[in-house]
Structure formats: C-alpha cells, structure tokens
Amino acid sequence: MLSQKILVAGCSFTANCGFNKENKSRYHWPCLLEHHYNAIQTNVAIDGCSNEEIFLRSIEASVTGRYDLSIIMWSGLGRKWIYFNDKNIDDFTIINNGIVKGNNSLQKEAADYAKLHYSYFDNQYINLKKWLLQCIALANFFKNQNQPYMFALGFSNLIDSFKKITYSSGFVDLDNVCKDTLDFDNRADDYILKKVKVIQNLIFQTSQLNWLAFDGQNFYDSAVDVADDGEHPGILSNQTLYQQLVTHIDQRKLL
C-alpha cells in the first residue's frame, strides 16, 4: 500500500515551532501526524510567513504535486514579504512590524521600507479582509482540484472582535482595536456599520469552510508551554493540537 501524502503550509508554527532538529521530529505536530498515519509529509511552511505567501505557496504546491490532504495553518495579520528586484530572483525578505529577517534583511532599504510601511500603510481592515478572501479562495481552489483540505488558526486575527460588534442606537462591543481599525473618531456610524457588515459577512462565509476550529480557538492563545526557543508552543501544546487534528481527520474521513 502506497503511503498517503500530506501537505502542510504555514508560518513558524508549522515550519518548526521553535524546536531544535532532534525535538522537531519527536514533538512537532506535523511530524506527529506523519508518524501517526505513516504518511509522507511535504512541509512548505517558513518562519515568518505571511498569509499571502501561505496562500500562494499552498496553491503552487498543489498544482505541482498531488496530496491526499492539505493542512493549512494561517498566520497573523500584517506580516509582509518583499522581494528586491536588483540581483535577485526570488529571495524573500520578511518584515513584521519592527523586525526584518530574510535574505536581504541587512540592507538599509529593507529597514526603511519596513518603517515606511508600518508607519503609514499597515491597514488592518484591509489585512483582515484580504485574509478572509484568501481563505475562501483557497478553499474553492481545493474544491475545484478535488483536493481534501483543512484549515487551522495560528492566531485570532480579530475574528472574535468583529463578530461581537452590534449596533443599537450606537455601537456595542466595539473595542479599541476595532475603533482604530474603523477610524471611529472620523467616520459616521452608518459608514462604519457598512464596513463592519462586510467583514462579518466574510467571517460567516469563512466559518463554513473546513476548519479544525474557527470560533475562539487558535494555536498561539491555547499554548500551555514553550518549545526549545522559549517562545513558540511547546511539547504539550503540539501534542494537544496533534490529537485534535487526528480526531477531526478521522471523524471526517479525510485520510
């Protein structure tokens, strides 16, 4: 019997989760799945991956290979990858707020770009809207490819904040992050409400996709311990996620 093939995509939670090489093979959730199903794992995750890159790399892997199951763990909003055009083909540079990493991270222009972007162009409303559309688009792509898939949340990504917003002679449960995102002090209520409803409609459509969990559960917030680097979810956290994934996969007969 041929081994089943599993594709996993995401950021550092999926790439290595802060484990050293030896511990990654023993404790990291994609490796636990690989061993459990005696499968062949293809891992296209990269530390610091943006949701746009996760979206594109998932599609690229799926049009160049065939997998029995694709597991996509989405990352946080606002991460951005840039590509220098001079003396470069596809070496990526990662910018995440004040942090610059990647192949050209030491170039002054990368730091200047990051400062400019996060000072003026990091629009959280658009970041959230684009990510929700990417989830819907990727799910439809998998469906058209007859490709079994499942999504998981690495971070909360403002989902709960937007879901609970209501309006009754004024906004109810509109927290400060959403106020900033919606330019609350400068916009009329009816305008803001229209924008809220756009996101809430996309959240509802996204929630209908094949998720491990979409309401209030994400890998970062559910972590109970840390890995070798002292930052990422650790052994127990990965074990819990692995068990949840196995339950979800088996109940829906995805493998």
Q: Quick one: average pLDDT of 145-167?
A: 96
Q: What is the pLDDT of residue 19?
A: 98
In angstroms, the CA 174 to CA 54 distance is 30
Residue 187 domain-assigned (yes or no) = no
Q: Quick one: average pLDDT of 88-101?
A: 92
Q: Are residues 133 and 223 in the same domain?
A: yes
Q: Quick one: average pLDDT of 230-239?
A: 98
- Give me the chain's average pLDDT, please: 96
- The pLDDT of residue 1 is above 80: no
Q: Which domain holds residue 109?
A: 81-121
Residue 99 domain-assigned (yes or no) = yes
Residue 153 domain-assigned (yes or no) = yes
Split into its structural domains, the chain has a count of 2
- The pLDDT of residue 130 is above 70: yes
Residue 54 domain-assigned (yes or no) = yes
Task: Quick: pLDDT tens for 57-87.
Answer: 999 999 999 999 999 999 999 999 999 999 9
Q: Are residues 222 and 241 in the same domain?
A: yes
Q: Are residues 27 and 142 in the same domain?
A: yes
- The pLDDT of residue 222 is above 70: yes
Task: Quick: pLDDT tens for 20-35.
Answer: 999 999 999 999 999 9
Q: Are residues 105 and 23 in the same domain?
A: no
pLDDT-derived band of residue 216, with 50, 70 and 90 as boundaries? low
Q: Among 96, 121, 146, where does a domain finish?
A: 121
Residue 196 domain-assigned (yes or no) = no
